[in-house]
């Protein structure tokens, strides 16, 4: 079986997996454009785009999702103890309530939650990016009303605004930012670069356009990412319900 046949088989299996997941998931409320405002995108075109993006190598550096915050000033809360014997799977970035939160990378919105269906993370957005990574933005005060599951995100896109939704009520306003891979959560802090013109210019868009193109991954891990994007989201879901 040659490479083209393997990719075709992978694409077929991916669609089968994502269809199974979507049929077993609640799509939630619907906005005027027909996409689920809360829940998971049911658009097969978006599923195919997410799969194609998963084939590309992930970014070596990502932007801090807020202006004027250097990585060195972010307290390292990775694996800090949380209630219920949980470990903190992300970084808390503190900022005044209402501070705009931008995309750390380009990708596609795959899920939006509210306090109604995510009492821990509250108002939150999950974005699928390169290499099968899923980026989690939680505790938002509000979410940009112009985005829905399926929306294309760039580092210039406002995701929402810093807040204390979910179980962050009573704490200083902050963004919980998590990065999930096929192997589980990883620490975002070493990946961060301060948001700047140079950083934004170095980050690829979903169509691969930017100053320096990232190569497609030809490794087995790239194919594995392609096949397992949908199960990754399914694996992330119970973890995200426990996040603070």
Q: In order along the chain (244 residues), what is the average pLDDT of each group of 10 residues?
A: 44 46 37 41 78 92 95 81 70 95 95 92 95 94 95 95 94 94 88 91 82 39 45 53 50
pLDDT of residue 32: 26
pLDDT of residue 21: 46
Distance CA 114, CA 141 (A): 10
Report yes or no: 93 and 175 within 8 Å, Cβ to Cβ.
yes
Distance CA 33, CA 122 (A): 24
Residue 220 CA: distances (Å) to CA of 47, 53, 171, 228, 236 = 21, 15, 43, 12, 22
Give pTM, 2 decimals. Answer: 0.74
pLDDT of residue 40: 59
pLDDT of residue 207: 83
Distance CA 236, CA 191 (A): 20
Q: What residue spans of the chain are helical by DSSP H? A: 3-23, 44-54, 197-202, 220-240
Phi-psi region of 230 (alpha: psi -120 to 50; beta: other; left: phi over 0): alpha
């Amino acid at each position: 079986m040659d490479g083209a046949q393997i990719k075709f088989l992978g694409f077929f299996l991916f669609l089968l997996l994502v269809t199974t997941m979507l049929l077993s998931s609640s799509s939630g409320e619907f906005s005027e454009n027909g996409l689920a405002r809360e829940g998971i995108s049911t658009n097969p075109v978006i599923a195919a785009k997410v799969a194609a993006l998963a084939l590309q190598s992930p970014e070596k550096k990502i932007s801090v999702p807020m202006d004027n915050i250097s990585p060195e000033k972010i307290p390292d809360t990775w694996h800090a103890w949380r209630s219920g014997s949980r470990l903190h799977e992300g970084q808390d970035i503190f900022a005044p309530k209402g501070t705009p939160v931008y995309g750390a990378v380009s990708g596609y919105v795959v899920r939006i939650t509210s306090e109604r269906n995510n009492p821990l993370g509250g108002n939150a957005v999950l974005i699928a990016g390169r290499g099968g990574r899923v980026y989690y933005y939680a505790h938002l005060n509000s979410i940009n009303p112009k985005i829905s599951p399926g929306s294309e995100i760039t580092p210039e896109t406002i995701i929402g605004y810093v807040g204390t939704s979910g179980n962050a009520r009573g704490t200083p306003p902050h963004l919980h930012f998590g990065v999930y891979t096929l192997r589980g959560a990883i620490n975002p802090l070493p990946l961060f670069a301060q948001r700047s013109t140079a950083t934004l210019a170095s980050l690829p868009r979903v169509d691969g356009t930017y100053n320096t193109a990232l190569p497609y991954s030809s490794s087995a891990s790239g194919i594995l990412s392609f096949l397992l994007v949908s199960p990754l989201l399914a694996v992330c879901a119970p973890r995200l319900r426990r996040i603070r």
